[in-house]
């Protein structure tokens, strides 16, 4: 949908353009931590717990070959490691290394701060309304949680 005469945009344009905006912030933050945006996502997902490769592929929406390459590169950088799956001797789980955990926490907090600044022109009520509407959109579309669920910059979801 094209922009309306009063400067407002439609839902499709708003969602698409906001995706580009958030992705640009995410990529900029990742570069500063010597990561790719996908490596940053991988680290953030793994903050919660180790994942099996199939589950990780579904969460990140990556094909098996793309995921394998991503994990290989991130493992070579010493940020993740493959561990035997205690429930399936043929499978592995991907987990953060100690160094990866520290980097993930720093990257997560900084990226949250940058994304938070995108909405500084909104009132508290507008921010609440936006959060509620976006929350409904992602939940109704079964969007996997890639970033821990928090607006506070705290991966455990605690308020500060």
CB proximity list for 38: less than 8 A, separation 6 or greater: 60, 62, 70
CATH hierarchy code of domain 39-140: 1.10.10.10
DSSP states of 129-148 as a string? HHHHHHHHHHHHTT----S-
Cβ-proximal residues to 82 (8 Å cutoff; 6+ apart), any chain: 71, 75, 92, 93, 94
Per-residue pLDDT of the chain in tens (160 residues, 90 and over written 9)? 455 556 689 999 999 999 999 999 999 999 999 999 999 999 999 999 999 999 999 999 899 999 999 999 999 999 999 999 998 989 999 999 999 999 999 999 999 999 999 999 999 999 999 999 999 999 999 887 766 565 544 444 433 3
Could you tell me which residues come within 8 angstroms of residue 130 by beta carbon, excluding any fewer than 6 positions away?
119, 122
* Residue boundaries of the structural domains of the chain: 39-140
């Amino acid at each position: 949908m094209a922009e309306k005469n009063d400067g407002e945009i439609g839902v499709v344009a708003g969602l698409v353009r906001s995706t580009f905006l958030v992705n640009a912030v995410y990529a900029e933050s990742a570069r500063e931590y010597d990561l790719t945006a996908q490596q940053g996502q991988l680290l953030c997902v793994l903050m919660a717990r180790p994942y099996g490769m199939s589950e990780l592929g579904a969460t990140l929406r990556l094909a098996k070959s793309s995921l394998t390459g991503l994990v290989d590169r991130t493992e070579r950088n010493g940020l993740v490691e493959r561990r035997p799956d205690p429930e399936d001797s043929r499978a592995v789980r991907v987990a953060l290394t100690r160094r990866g955990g520290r980097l993930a926490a720093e990257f997560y907090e900084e990226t949250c701060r940058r994304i938070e600044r995108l909405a500084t022109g909104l009132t508290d009520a507008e921010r609440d309304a936006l959060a509620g509407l976006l929350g409904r959109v992602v939940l109704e579309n079964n969007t996997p949680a890639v970033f821990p669920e928090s607006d506070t910059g705290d991966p455990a979801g605690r308020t500060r």
